[in-house]
Amino acid sequence: MTDAITAEATRNEFLKVAIGGLVSGVLTPLLPDVIDLLAPAPATLRLALVAVPFAVLVFVVVRRRSANPVWAALAASLVTMIAFVAAVNAAVYIDGQMAGAAKTMRSLFAGLAGGLVGSGLMALGISLLPAGPRKAAPWMPMLVTGTIAGSLLALDTSLGLDRTSFLYPFWQAAVAVRLAMALKP
């Protein structure tokens, strides 16, 4: 009976994390215009600020699902923002390297690269926290999920989405749930 209650509580917690990921993913493509209205800042800093909604979600997940102190959850949020910048840069780089290919193919491979870099840097950075799992196995589902979800960039490109996106809500929800699973309390 206790196992059923625990499983139900965990399922509900993962659902809340997924909903948080969907919300942060809806906010992400809307933030560049708001950030541009603020004081002029370097492009990398503006790009990192776009990741703030997801970084807040990562902070909450790390605090609730691990025995990490507050400073470690803040570090996980910072790692998330750095991973976001690196993921966007990786996607732009791959897109540029495939200049002769069809736009959809460029977006597919750019999204896969961005998803891999983003989830990989998050897994690496968060695994170094005091209560983060040190072995690779708990992080592999997050890495695979982030990479595959990155392919949604091709769908966004095909549909011509700019202010809305399929990539960010689904990527952030999936990666946040996988992060919560990796950080077993």
* Predicted local distance difference test score (pLDDT) of residue 9: 58
* Predicted local distance difference test score (pLDDT) of residue 141: 96
Q: CB under 8 Å to 158, separation ≥6 — which residues?
A: 104, 107
Q: CB under 8 Å to 57, separation ≥6 — which residues?
A: 17, 20, 21, 24, 172, 176
Residue-range definition of the domain harbouring residue 13: 2-182
The DSSP string of 85-137 is HHHHHHHHHHHHHTTTS-HHHHHHHHHHHHHHHHHHHHHHHHHTSTTS--SSG
Per-residue pLDDT of the chain (185 residues; tens, 9 = 90+): 445 444 555 888 999 999 999 999 999 998 888 888 776 778 888 889 999 999 999 999 999 998 889 999 999 999 999 999 999 999 999 999 998 999 999 999 999 999 999 999 999 999 998 978 889 999 999 999 999 999 999 888 888 877 778 889 999 999 999 999 999 76
Determine how many CB atoms are found less than 10 A away from the CB of residue 62.
Answer: 26
> Which tokens in the block code for residue 74?
């803040």
CB 111 within 8 A of CB 93: no
| Max Cα-Cα span within the chain | 60
Q: What φ, ψ does residue 59 adopt, rounded to 5°?
A: -55, -50
Domain count, the chain: 1
Reported as type and span, the H/E element at residue 163 is none
The CA-based angle 103-166-105, given to 5 degrees, is: 20
Distance of CA 168 to the CA centre of its chain: 8
Instruction: Kindly report whether the global pTM for this prediction surpasses the value 0.75.
Output: yes
* Predicted local distance difference test score (pLDDT) of residue 41: 75
> Which tokens in the block code for residue 27?
């906010």
* Predicted local distance difference test score (pLDDT) of residue 5: 42
